[in-house]
Structure 1
Amino acid sequence: MNGETTYLTDLAAVLWPCGGLLGHGPGPARGRGRGNQYLPVPSACDPRVILPAHNRSAATRGIASFSQGHSLRERLRKLLLTGAFASGMAPLLLRDRLYVGAGPGIEHALAAALDRELAIAIHVGPPRANRKPVLLLLTPGGRTIGYAKVAVNDLTGRLVVAEARALRLLADHRLRDVTVPRLMYQGEWNGRPLLVQEALPVGDQTDRPTRRQLLRCVAQITSLVEVRRRRLSASTYRGALEERIAALGARPEAGPLMAALHGLPDVSLPFGAWHGDLTRWNIAGTARRSFVWDWERLSLDAPAGFDALHYDLNESVQAGVHPGVHRWLESGARLLRDPLMAELGLAAHTVSTVMALYLIDLATRYLHDRQDEIGVHLAAVDDWLLPALEGLQERAAHEAARAGG
């Protein structure tokens, strides 16, 4: 067994306390009794989705819902998989099986919580510290009911609880052009935090945001709370960031991060809310409206513009971290100089300071979550982030000096 097959069997123990057994080919698993069969796709050694073997409509809908579809290769893969499941050929073509023993499982708990019959398809995604199963909840006929998230460790437990709290807050703060999911249920499963949220109308009629749509969305999220100007040295944000860096203890990156924070010019900045993980994977929209999900990192105190920088950094590095970061140092600055950001009070001479603060914040998050230990490329803080931060410090000092502080 490799790390991924071990993860799959551990995940099965969380979702189905009766456990799961990996096997090959169609047919019942010996000694497992009556239970369900799931197909790890593309394989048990590289699971990205887990689909019900004998429910074509649920499996087909799961493929469509979890496919990002941003590249030609991804769109072709989605087309082939949906065709295989719709025709009933997928169980014959896919070799690996996850056999789940008879007994109460996550499906039964969710059906009881929502008081309706349902089927599930599961997204697990690539390895990362905050990896957790996202369950697509469907009627037996394949109509989407919502999404469930289940914690698998302490970090994901904190994130699931934080997202439930964020969704409650967002329910009381209507955003003019942004739709967020409604919290449908919060509880526990197998001793771990669980939440269910409604599905947003994202599909063929929606797409990634344009620059204007992105910045409009960022501005509205920032304004979830009253946007206030503060000197960096007097802001509660800087104090909280200092505490987070200090909590890294003896990590060798902690010293350079703290020094970089203290070395930034003491400029006046607008502070407001930020989504915390705004990327192409959790925002879509039409010309008039944005749909935003995955609110587990919501913060109500951060420099305006962080969400725009985060989205742009993740876009820039799709073809490689180092060339992407080089592009981001310019494209991120252009985003922050946009008139929509100026309307929030973000001055041109503070752009590099905000970019540096964002990198310090991101590095601190990655280090606390230990993302570097599982090979997440962006989490290699000393490889790209600290060198980029050094250049931004120089730019920030130059900008502030030209503006007279």
Structure 2
Amino acid sequence: MNGETTYLTDLAEVLWPCGGLLGRGAECAGRRVPAPEHPAAHVREYLPVPSAHNPRVILPVTNRYAAARGIAAFAQRHSFRERVRAALLTTAFASGVAPLLLRDRLHVGTGHTIEHALGAALDRDVVIAIHVGPPRANRKPVLLLLTPAGRAVGYAKVGVNELTSRLVRAETRALRRLAEAHLPDVTVPRLMYEGEWNGRPLLVQEALPVGDQTDRPTRRQLLRCVLQIAAVDGIAEGELRTGPYWAHLERRIDALAGRPEAPRLRKALESLPDVRLPFGAWHGDLTRWNIAGTPRRAFVWDWERLESGVPLGMDALHYELNECVQGGVQAGVQRWLDSGARLLCDPLVAEAGLRPQAVPVVMALYLVDLATRYLQDRQDEAGSPLAAVDDWLLPALEGLGERAAHESGPRR
């Protein structure tokens, strides 16, 4: 067993405590799935795709409509190569060929399962397709809930460890809060259910109408979305060093005691000039995977890191950084140093109160915040290339600190 198959079997214990075993055919590593208590009961079979050694999605074997819909849904906003692969898999599942080509199975015994709990919560029969994604510290299953005919009903999230449980609870609170917010051009998923499964937090949210009719946001749409999120609790201007954001960031860095990067982050933070900045809310993980748009609206999901009182524009920087590094981290970061600054100098952001001379300060604060998050969540241990803060983030931060000191100038 490699780390991925171990993760898959651990995940099965969370979702299907009645019993889930990996194997091929009816056999599971020399053992068999527990026999059904009733002759009419059946053992569910799921396909880890592309394999048990590299699971990215988990799809039902016996419902090809749901499997095909799951592949298509989880491939949206990915790279062209991934979309081509998804189209081939969708065709294979729709034609019924996929189970013949993919031999690994996750066998689930009878009994009370996550499907039963979700069906009871929504008062309808549901079939699930599960997105697992690549290894990272905040990796958790995202369950696409489908009718037996393959129509999307909603998405469910389940905490699988301390970090992901905290994030599921945070997103539940965020969705409740956003239900009362005024976001003129942004649609947020509705919270459909909150509870527990197998002793872990569970939330269900509606499926947004994202698909072939939506695309990545334009620059203007992205900035309008960022500003509307920032204004959820109002945008307020204040001094950087005497404000609550500075104190909170200091406490988070102090909590990293023992990490060799912490002193460099503290030094970089303390070297920044004290400027007046506009502060507001941010999504915290606004990327191409969490936003889609039409000419009139933006659809935004994954609100687990919603936070108030951060410097205006950090969502735009986060989106841009993740776009820039798609072709490689080192070269992408160099592009971001220019393109991120241009985003924050846009007239829309300037009208909201961010002065051009304060832009390098906000960019540096964003990198300190991001590095602190990665180190706190131990993302480097999961192998994420962006989490290797020594390789790219700290060098970029030093350059931004110099720019901030040079460009801040006298305050107005």
Which of 83, 90, 96 matches 1:82?
90
1:368 corresponds to which residue?
376
Do the aligned partners of 2:19 and 2:34 also contact (CA within 8 Å) in 1?
no
Deviations 1:244-303 (A, max 9, x none): 000111111111111111110000000000000000000001011000000000001100
Task: For 1:196, give the aligned amino acid.
Answer: V
**Counterpart among 21, 31, 34 of residue 32 in structure 1:** 34
Say whether 1:135 aligns with 2:137: no
Is the CA contact (8 Å cut-off) linking 1:184 and 1:196 kept in structure 2? yes
Question: Is contact 2:238-2:276 (8 Å) kept?
Answer: yes
Tell me what 2:38 maps to.
none
1:261 and 1:357 in contact (8 A); partners too = yes
**Partner of 1:260 in structure 2?**
268
Q: Which amino acid aligns with 2:171?
A: E
Q: CA deviation at 1:26?
A: 7.2
Deviation at 1:69, TM superposition (A): 4.8
Structure 1 residue 10 corresponds to structure 2 residue 10: yes
User: Percentage identity across aligned positions?
Assistant: 72
Asked if structure 1 preserves the Cα contact closer than 8 Å seen for 2:277 and 2:353, the reply is yes
- Residues 229 and 271 in structure 1, CA contact (< 8 A), matched pair in contact too: yes
CA deviation map 1:352-404 (0-9, x unaligned): 00000000000000000000111111011111111000000000000113x45
Contact kept? 2:249, 2:369, Cα under 8 Å: yes
The verdict on how the C-alpha distance between 1:31 and 1:21 changes in structure 2, with shifts beyond 3 A counting, is closer
CA contact (8 A) 2:12 2:19 kept: yes
Hey, what's the Cα distance between the residues in 1 that align with 2:84 and 2:262?
Answer: 44
| 1:67–1:78 CA contact under 8 A, matched in 2 | yes
- Is 1:285–2:293 an aligned residue pair? yes
Residue 150 (str. 1) matches residue 132 (str. 2): no
Q: Which residue of 2 aligns with 1:167?
A: 175
Where does 1:6-405 land on structure 2 (aligned, <5 Å)? 6-25=6-25, 30-33=32-35, 34-401=42-409, 403=410
* Partner amino acid, structure 2, of 1:20: G
Distance 1:69 1:229 in 2: 35
Q: Partners in 2 of 1:23 and 1:158 — Cα distance?
A: 32
1:75, distance to aligned residue in structure 2 (A): 2.1
Q: TM-score by structure 1 length? A: 0.98
Scaled by the length of structure 2, the TM-score of the pair is 0.96
Q: Is the 8 A contact 2:77 2:288 kept in 1?
A: no
Contact 1:26–1:91, Cα closer than 8 Å, also in 2:
no
SS at 2:204 equivalent = strand
**Unaligned 5+ runs, structure 1:** none
Q: CA shift at 1:27, angstroms?
A: 8.6
Output the CA distance in 1 between the equivalents of 2:15 and 2:93: 23
Q: State the distance in 2 between where 1:272 and 1:52 align.
A: 43
One-letter code aligned to 1:193: P
Give unpaired runs (5+ residues) of structure 2: 36-41
Q: 1:393 to 1:69 in 2, by over 3 A?
A: closer
User: Is the CA contact (8 Å cut-off) linking 1:38 and 1:51 kept in structure 2?
Assistant: yes
1:197 is aligned with what amino acid?
Q
**CA 1:271/1:301 → structure 2, altered by over 3 Å: closer, same or farther?**
same
Instruction: Determine helix, strand or coil for the equivalent of 1:391.
Output: helix
Secondary structure class of the residue paired with 1:132: coil
The separation in 1 between residues aligned to 2:351 and 2:14, in whole angstroms, is 47
Residue identity matched to 1:173: A
3-state DSSP of counterpart to 2:268: helix
Deviations, residues 199-253 of structure 1 (Å, cap 9, x unaligned): 0000000001111111111011111111111110111000000000001111111
Gap change, CA 1:43 and 1:398, over 3 Å in 2: same
Secondary structure at the residue paired with 1:234? coil
Kindly tell me the number of residue pairs found equivalent between the two proteins: 404
SS at match of 1:291: strand
CA contact (8 A) 2:253 2:262 kept: yes
Q: Which moved more, 1:65-74 or 1:134-143?
A: 65-74
Q: What is the CA–CA distance in structure 1 between the aligned matches of 2:33 and 2:333, rounded to whole Å?
A: 53
Report the alpha carbon displacement of residue 25 of structure 1 after superposing the two structures with TM.
4.1
Note if contact 1:25-1:92 (Cα within 8 Å) is conserved in structure 2. Answer: no
Which residue identity is paired with 2:391? Answer: D
> What is the RMSD of the two structures over their aligned residues, measured on CA atoms?
1.3
Contact 2:313–2:344 (Cα < 8 Å) also in 1: yes
